[in-house]
Amino acid sequence: MQAQIHRPTPANLRRLAAALQRGELVAIPTETVYGLAAHALDAKACRAIFHAKRRPANDPLIVHVLDLAHAEELAEFNPAARRLARRFWPGPLTLVLPKKPCVPGLVTSGGPTVAIRAPAHPLARRLLQLAKIPLAAPSANLFGYISPTTAAHVSEGLGSRIPHILDGGACAVGVESTVLDITNPARPRILRPGVVTAAQIQQLLGVKVSGAKSRGSRTRQLAPGMLERHYSPRTPLVLRRPPAKLSAGVAGVLLRQPAIKPAKDVFWLSRRGALTEMARNLYDVLRRADAGRYRQIWMEPLPGDPGGLATAINDRLKRAAARR
Ligand code: TXA
Ligand code: MG
């Protein structure tokens, strides 16, 4: 069985909302990346997510809700978390908070906290309105591979493993949400960098925000979702500026379109070098380079912007390039 790709017509949205209520899996667009959604309060449905993605059970899921009021039904909010939700939701900020008993342990990998966010994508929001249930949704890719930013990406990886994909076009942001542990409001901690930056959070809350560092062994999980190797193409990725002349079998990924006529093995993230465009194109470019049967992909990391979007991109690149 191959997944059906649904256009976002009102009738299809109603059908997919009903499928989610019944416990079926639906891949949905969000503003960051596509998510593989299931009824978050239905443990059996959530188990199917882990199975479809081949995701280890110790990597917890993000729960998607319409707004703060719905989030408060699932997690114990503190005043700082409420301020963050009011300022950044709907949008690409995931808050980690103590879970309420109604959230199945499977969703949180047995842990006492739940990760929660209100997505901004109009189709994700429409499905949440129609289904009237919270949706657990990790990125809709096979575990460890590059996250999907189009319905075609989802279909390539999961097409034979899930029944439905909602096609909402390409994702506007292109990298996953910022994950912030706000269980202790005096010490917020970024677990995964994203578009919402440490500086923005710090400015709103008036307390220092720490960023997560991944160190230690390659396979040991320091905190959920902090695997050193993740988001990886099958082709070895080398984080080095590609030379003007590439050796045979090597693909080069540039940050911006080269001024000279580009060669066949050269890819680039942005025409003019705009950061938001680089983020939006990152996963599609890596997937295209990966499909090209190269020996290696060489790509230069972005110039740093402490805690900003380039940091998020470089974080993903570092994990994508980590050795097996
Ligand atoms: O932008 C996004 O966040 C996308 C879209 C679909 O919303 N979702 C996404 O999900 O990237 P996923 O599962 O690929 O990444 C979620 C991250 C994982 O690294 C997971 O370990 C972490 O969030 N996470 C989930 N629950 C957690 C918890 N209770 N404590 C700490 N980290 C958690
Ligand atoms: Mg993921």
Residue 150 clears pLDDT 90, i.e. is over it: yes
249 and 295 Cβ atoms separated by less than 8 Å: yes
Among 25, 33, 62, 95, which is best to mutate for testing ligand 1, by the most ligand atoms less than 8 A from CB?
62
> For residue 115, which atom of ligand 1 is closest to its CA?
26
| 147 CA from centroid of ligand 2 (Å) | 6
Q: Whose CA is nearest to atom 32 of ligand 1?
A: 224
Q: Whose CA is nearest to atom 3 of ligand 1?
A: 177
Q: Compute how many other C-beta atoms are within 10 angstroms of the C-beta atom of residue 242.
A: 19
pLDDT tens digits, residue range 73-100? 999 999 999 999 999 999 999 999 999 9
Inter-CA distances, 155 with 123, 131, 165, Å: 18, 23, 8
Joined together, the tokens standing for residue 187 give 């010490």
Domains belonging to the chain, first-starting first, are: 4-174 (3.90.870.10), 237-321 (3.40.50.11030)
Residue 213 clears pLDDT 90, i.e. is over it: no
What pTM was computed for the model? 0.95
Q: Compute how many other C-beta atoms are within 10 angstroms of the C-beta atom of residue 219.
A: 10
Percentage, residues of the chain above pLDDT 70:
95
| 18 CA from centroid of ligand 1 (Å) | 25
